[in-house]
Amino acid sequence: MTATTLRPPARAARRDGGLSGAGPLLKLWLRRDRIMMSAWIYGLTAYVSSNAYSFGREYDTPEALASFTRGINDNPATRALYGPVLNGGTADGLTVWRVGATGAAFTAVMCVLLVVRHTRAEEETGRLELVGAAAVGRRAPLTAALLAAATAAATLAAVVTGVLVLFGLPAAGAAALGLSWLGSGLVFAGVAAVTAQLAETSRTANGLAFTVLGAAYLLRAAADAGPAHRLSWLSPVGWAQHVRPCAGEQWAVLLLPLAASMLLIAVAYALTGRRDLGAGLLASSLGPDTAAPSLRSPLALSWRLQRGTLLSWSAGLLVYGLVVGGIAAGAGDLAGGNAAIADDIRRLGGRRDLTDALLATAMGIMGLFAAAYAVQGVQRLRAEEGGGRLEPVLATAVGRIRWAVSGLAVTAVGTAVLLALAGTAAGAVHGARTHDLAGQLPRQLGAALAQLPSVWVIAAAAFLLFAVLPRATSAGWAVLTICLLLGQVGPLLDAPQAVLDVSPFTHTPKLPGAEFSALPLAALTAAAAALAAAGLTAFRRRDIG
């Protein structure tokens, strides 16, 4: 009797390159991020719309256009912040100048957050390991994350292009601006894809990517402010300007971000196969077996977790304060002798004196930046809980309220440090330029610190969301976005006062220059305390996790 040998089933010859399952993951992540993506798109679209509306209405004569352009291009601080005006002969050219570099940078931030959120953050929490147990290829999560970021950036580019066309900009110029933002987003999506392979934590991956973005923006700023203009070609943010929307479009420049993003993505794919799931190529050193005495309290732990973020925000606000101090004395040049733009600055800043109005507007923006840090601090509390690191802490002698209050305290003090640093920088530079250092330094410091109660209201509202609906903690960014639109766009669009009053920043005295009143600041502080108390009560009663 002869035995029959069964041939084993042939292994499938189809090779998908490790991309199996990328499609379902992309659908899942687009659904998860629909609110966050919408907030980014709506916020940046409103930013573009308000500038297109303002410039189109206020610069309607060649003399006004020429005066404004001359004032900008003669001011190194303004060129560093926004770049030079490439086409000052039309309001269209001023619109794309105002939003070009900053919009490209914000698009890059959005893409970095999306890519790291769906790669390194998923590995850090262990969810990606569960996903990998299904029929999902090794490269599928990274591919889906990159496609999600590209989808968000492309949607933003399309919406911004359409809005600018509606405001009367040429279709070619509007498309060039949208594509330049898309290119910036793709480059930094690639940067984030690489840093997600290098770092072991999402915080480090974000930090590395934002360091690259900050360096790119500073390189562009230094090149535009100084004589070495060609150095801006080394910056991905500078590439967005070199596309020259509404100033003789240079379409070939768009090949630079496309090539750079493809190279970075190829590097990220190569690194993916060189590490274990959950590990980073830059391995973290092992810490000591026992914590140092300085870390044996929830307050010290909160400081340790937030200090890196605080240092990063400090550097950014320091630079912003220096720039504000540098351009404040030239407020008249910024208005270009145009009564309409001067009136808009006064509507935002609330003063007759144009310099004080510009400084008051800048102080409000400083407050929004500090509020963004505060929302990020509350997000850190949620990350500790969601990552399973809170339960071991609560298993010790540390109670819920003590842990939460420690995190809030570090966040509150951090916002004060940020505003003090920015106000001091603005006061020092403005005082030096006006030869009144002794008078301007305390004046601008006080104006910056007056934003604190409003910042604390935003922080407390975000904490209340975390305490009541932990899954909705990210809605704190929506609260901040609403305040941004009401404070920086609402007055220009003559929004009803009842609508503007929704933002706590509306009730902050327009310092410097305005009459100081302690009553609204005390009321805002009381509101922040009430929101925080409600949040602590809710957090004490709900389940952890």
CA distance 380 to 376: 6
**Predicted local confidence at residue 70, as pLDDT:** 78
**Predicted local confidence at residue 32, as pLDDT:** 84
Q: pLDDT (tens digit, 9 = 90+) per residue, 18-49?
A: 677 778 888 888 888 888 888 889 889 988 98
Cα–Cα distances in Å, from 264 out to 3, 186, 195? 56, 10, 10
Q: Could you please report the per-residue DSSP string of 350-387?
A: --SSHHHHHHHHHHHHHHHHHHHHHHHHHHHHHHHHHT
By the 8 A CB rule, do 203 and 308 touch?
yes
By the 8 A CB rule, do 451 and 460 touch?
no
Omega before 512 within 30 of 0, i.e. cis: yes
**Mean of all residue pLDDT scores within the chain:** 84
By the 8 A CB rule, do 269 and 196 touch?
no
Phi and psi torsions of 110, nearest 5°:
-60, -45
Q: Could you please report the per-residue DSSP string of 262-308?
A: HHHHHHHHHHHTTS-TT--SSPPPP--SS--GGGSSHHHHHHHHHHH
CA distance 324 to 117: 33
**Predicted local confidence at residue 523, as pLDDT:** 96
349 pLDDT above the threshold of 90:
no
Assign 9 a pLDDT band (cuts: 50, 70, 90): very low
CA distance 15 to 421: 56
Query: What's the predicted TM-score (pTM) here?
Result: 0.78
pLDDT, greater one: 75 or 526 = 526
CA distance 216 to 227: 17
Q: pLDDT (tens digit, 9 = 90+) per residue, 290-300?
A: 666 667 788 88
By the 8 A CB rule, do 271 and 198 touch?
yes
- Cβ count within 10 A of residue 269: 19
Q: Looking at 87-243, which runs of residues are DSSP E strands?
A: none
CA distance 402 to 361: 37
**Predicted local confidence at residue 12, as pLDDT:** 40
CA distance 436 to 64: 31
CA distance 287 to 295: 13
Q: pLDDT (tens digit, 9 = 90+) per residue, 130-139?
A: 666 666 667 8
157: left (phi over 0), alpha (psi -120 to 50) or beta: alpha
491 pLDDT above the threshold of 60:
yes
Assign 408 a pLDDT band (cuts: 50, 70, 90): very high
Q: pLDDT (tens digit, 9 = 90+) per residue, 143-164?
A: 999 999 999 999 999 999 999 9
406 pLDDT above the threshold of 80:
yes
**Tokens standing for 339?**
């009564």
Burial per residue of 26-35, b for 16 or more beta-carbon CB atoms within 10 angstroms, e otherwise:
beebbeebee
